[in-house]
Structure 1
Amino acid sequence: MKLTSIVFALFWICTQFQPISAQDADVREQKPVVVESQVHKGGEYDKVLGETKEEPKGDGLTDEGPKASWIWPTRESKNGDRWYFFYEFEGGSSKAELFASCDNKMTVYLNGKRVASSNDWGSPVILDVQKHIKSGVNKVMVDGDNEGSVAGLILKLALQDKAGKVRYVLSGKDWKASRKADGSDLQSVIVHGEYGVGPWGNIKSSPKPSTTLLANIPRDVFMVQEGFQIEQLYKVPKGDHGSWVAITFDNKGRLIASDQGNKGLYRITPPVVGSDQVTKIEKL
């Protein structure tokens, strides 16, 4: 691992298989690779971050009223299962608040405008979207992407008129989904249950700016300061090692990762910085 600048050795959890060598059934090795990133030089990126931090978070309209439902086109899902969700509703509001989450990633569009994105289903997006609502028919589309065995989308839009009356747009059985962004092959969705149902529970929004990250920050591309780069230590083969959801350090500085299912624990020994060594992965 030759470095000409300061390096972030990032353990990036992915689920597509990449060729790796195996010393035996329980020990694997993989050479780190530099992944795509963009140098942060200020300007437009600073503007995006500024908009993210200042984006109105809403005033509690979605806390009241009926519950939205977790939906997906299929009962079972797999890694990389990507769907586009569609719904139309009448505008004419003076206030509009959005609540949305997707297990695992989503980008939300209102009338063709990308308004928010998130890759943390446990911390839903909650924000004021009134500026994106128009009179007449409005269209919402959500680009949802699954990274594990369980998948679901939930969305609630509270629309308040000038008289203070609130009506709601709720994800449910009347929504449609498509494999294509243009919605050319729409199909019905399946309802997993209302807000609060397992495995998601009563998720709450976090104050972290990332929960309302605007979608014009490139997806799956890291932003770094000049002189830094990102390295992927290991690309997890989901079929063999499962979906890693927890990670910690042991007393020797090695990483211990846990699968969310029954694949067990793994010990990851990163290479020495500045060397040509490989990442070593051992099943415990």
Structure 2
Amino acid sequence: MNALKLSGVFLCFAASLNFSSLLRAQTPEWIWHDNRGAAPADGEVRFFRRTFIVEGRLTKAVLTAAGDDHVRIFLNGKQVLENDDWQKADAVDVTVEIKPGENVIAARGQNDASFAGFIAKLDLSLKGGNKGTVVTDTSWVSSDREAPGWEKPGFIAAGWTPARSFGKLGAQPWGDVMAGAIVKGAGASKQATPAESLATLPGFRIELLRSAQPGEGSWVSMAVDNKGRLILSPQGKEPMLRVTLKDGKLEQLEPLDVPVTGAMGLRYAFDSLYVNGRGPQGYHLYRLRDTDGNGHFGPPELLCKWNRGRGGDGEHGAHGIVLGPDKKLYIVCGNFVDVPDDLSPDSPHRNYADDIVLPRMEDGNGFGAGKKPPGGFVARMDPDGKNIELFAAGFRNTYDIDFSPDGELFGFDSDMEWDWGTPWYRPIRINHIVSAGDYGFREGTAKWPNWYPDSLPTTLDIGIGSPTGVKFGTGAKYPAKYQQAFYAMDWSYGRIIAVHLKSKGATYAGAFENFVAPKSLREAGPKATLNVTDLEFGKDGAMYFLTGGRGTQSGLYRVTYVGKEPTDIQMEAPT
């Protein structure tokens, strides 16, 4: 998923603290390992520690921290806090973990992509009213290697170097991530953003059905099976989950015992679960079937290999799967997936190139440098994975696609946010995806503008954001206008927009409105996160949507219509 490239892991804590010389309140800083001047690598893990001394009787200690992308914090060798959401810090009462004399605070940070860092502060209160603060700053030491006992007292940090600061609390792009942090007891269960913090349109109601708990992962994709159950997939290695619903409530949640994880595309069709995920042969397209009807899937069947066998993993990899009116599978892939070599000679889209007079200038940070056309694409294939065709291309990183009630395909494509302010910047956009269409995404400066005669123009520009899941409201128990709407999710701004399309010649035009969003998107006060990833409409006609991604807290929500307008089904959803 394209959400926010400016991500990383930052941990911030104070230098040695001795309450015999009371410290004033300090501002924590986003820190990371110096990496000898090199930029953080995707997936890298770094280690941090600092000692401090407490003299006197401690009455209260509260630790607050956020990691971009992940941070685990230890006090005297014991893990006391874990955060996977750089937009929203976690806070925990750690009074019982701190002892008189010398203490050690340590952190393990992990970066998913791009920049990295974390931030933290430890507020200490002593008997008599004295207070002190331990914050992350350059007095911390760090290492790129994990050594036995690195998080415990007595460890000799030979060869560790001072951490590097990337800015104080409040600095962009993070902002004040500690505002509104709710203090929990150590080991408290995690909670997704409450439904009360969210806004929707008049007549609609939002419910939070479940918050993901430790071991359940961070959810990024979802499908509805033939019995109306929801299948959820975490982005990591945790097992997929199957959710049974009853009267709109969660009745049962069970892990699926299958050797495929990390799915960024799920679709149930032809009595099979199709999965773009990590399986025995790598990240590819698999088919799972319950052949004996006992509720358990058999061994996965490999249908299509991505990237010439290297796999289509990653946030710009192989994503959404939908069933077309022609009963074929349509699969959308991001710009880091190569077009398969075994394409059918009858593919609708066959001719693509940069087609420029001057050589293109690659991205200044090297992102996507050297990648050749056609960019992201939609592949079409038979249910058994055969007869693969290139249906359309020229996208950056469309995460999901869906067919309208009229049988027309639409997607929600991402921008390249590092292009902001340049002549070749393209905002996130709704695309009407037609057979053989080229939508003009090329790396660097070679992107096609809408007015190119051989480039199909955007249907609707949305602006800045990070597109994730999409779905038409076909079959929803909503008023007619919202049954016909195209729902598109924006991970960055935490909103679901409803796009209202109208015919315009051979294609469509449209307008959009926010359908679900945090109240804080428009109101003053602490900011609520809603990192939306995927949505489906259940057999009951309600919308179900997920939050999660990049290790952030996940939730499963339900949106129903409780107003007075008619909700007669205009057209059934395809099966």
Cα-to-partner distance string for 1:35-92 (whole Å, 9 max, x where unaligned)? xxxxxxxxxxxxxxxxxxxxxxxxxxxxx93211111123632211210010111235
Match 2:42 to one of 57, 62, 79: 79
Paired residue type of 2:191: P
The aligned counterpart of 2:83 is 118
- Are positions 1:256 and 2:412 aligned together? yes
The aligned counterpart of 1:235 is 313
- Are positions 1:222 and 2:238 aligned together? yes
Paired residue type of 1:177: S
Write the distance in 1 (CA, Å) between the matches of 2:51 and 2:70.
Answer: 22
Paired residue type of 1:256: F
Aligned residues: 211
Q: Which has the higher helix share?
A: 1
Q: Secondary structure at the match of 1:155?
A: strand
Match 1:200 to one of 165, 174, 188: 174
CA contact (8 A) 2:33 2:144 kept: no
Paired residue type of 2:313: K
Paired residue type of 1:178: S
The aligned counterpart of 1:209 is 191
Paired residue type of 2:132: R
- Are positions 1:127 and 2:155 aligned together? no
Q: Secondary structure at the match of 2:96?
A: helix
Scaled by the length of structure 1, the TM-score of the pair is: 0.60
The aligned counterpart of 1:52 is none
Give the unaligned 5+ runs of structure 1: 1-10, 16-63, 268-281
Map 1:4-83; keep pairs closer than 5 Å.
65-74=25-34, 76-83=39-46
CA contact (8 A) 2:238 2:262 kept: no
Paired residue type of 2:60: K
**Aligned pair in 2 of structure 1 residues 178, 250: CA closer, same or farther (>3 Å)?**
same
Paired residue type of 1:175: W
Shift of the alpha carbon at 1:194?
Answer: 1.3
Write the distance in 1 (CA, Å) between the matches of 2:180 and 2:400.
Answer: 24
Shift of the alpha carbon at 1:216?
Answer: 7.0
Write the distance in 2 (CA, Å) between the matches of 1:165 and 1:218.
Answer: 41
Q: What fraction of aligned residue pairs are identical, expressed as a percent? A: 23
Shift of the alpha carbon at 1:109?
Answer: 0.8
Map 1:152-191; keep pairs closer than 5 Å.
152-182=117-147, 183=150, 184=157, 185-191=159-165
Shift of the alpha carbon at 1:137?
Answer: 0.9
CA contact (8 A) 2:63 2:120 kept: yes
Give the unaligned 5+ runs of structure 2: 6-23, 151-156, 183-189, 194-210, 218-235, 242-252, 264-275, 277-311, 318-334, 337-366, 369-395, 420-424, 431-438, 442-575
Scaled by the length of structure 2, the TM-score of the pair is: 0.32
**Aligned pair in 2 of structure 1 residues 145, 167: CA closer, same or farther (>3 Å)?**
same
The aligned counterpart of 1:50 is none
- Are positions 1:148 and 2:113 aligned together? yes
Write the distance in 1 (CA, Å) between the matches of 2:440 and 2:61.
Answer: 50
Cα-to-partner distance string for 1:194-237 (whole Å, 9 max, x where unaligned)? 111122111135666269x9x97487442633363656225127
**Aligned pair in 2 of structure 1 residues 102, 231: CA closer, same or farther (>3 Å)?**
closer
**Aligned pair in 2 of structure 1 residues 165, 231: CA closer, same or farther (>3 Å)?**
closer
Write the distance in 2 (CA, Å) between the matches of 1:196 and 1:113.
Answer: 29
CA contact (8 A) 1:245 1:260 kept: no
**Aligned pair in 2 of structure 1 residues 67, 251: CA closer, same or farther (>3 Å)?**
farther
Paired residue type of 1:199: P
Cα-to-partner distance string for 1:97-132 (whole Å, 9 max, x where unaligned)? 111112111111111111121211111111211121
Shift of the alpha carbon at 1:172?
Answer: 0.7
Paired residue type of 1:147: D
CA contact (8 A) 2:237 2:262 kept: no
CA contact (8 A) 1:126 1:205 kept: no
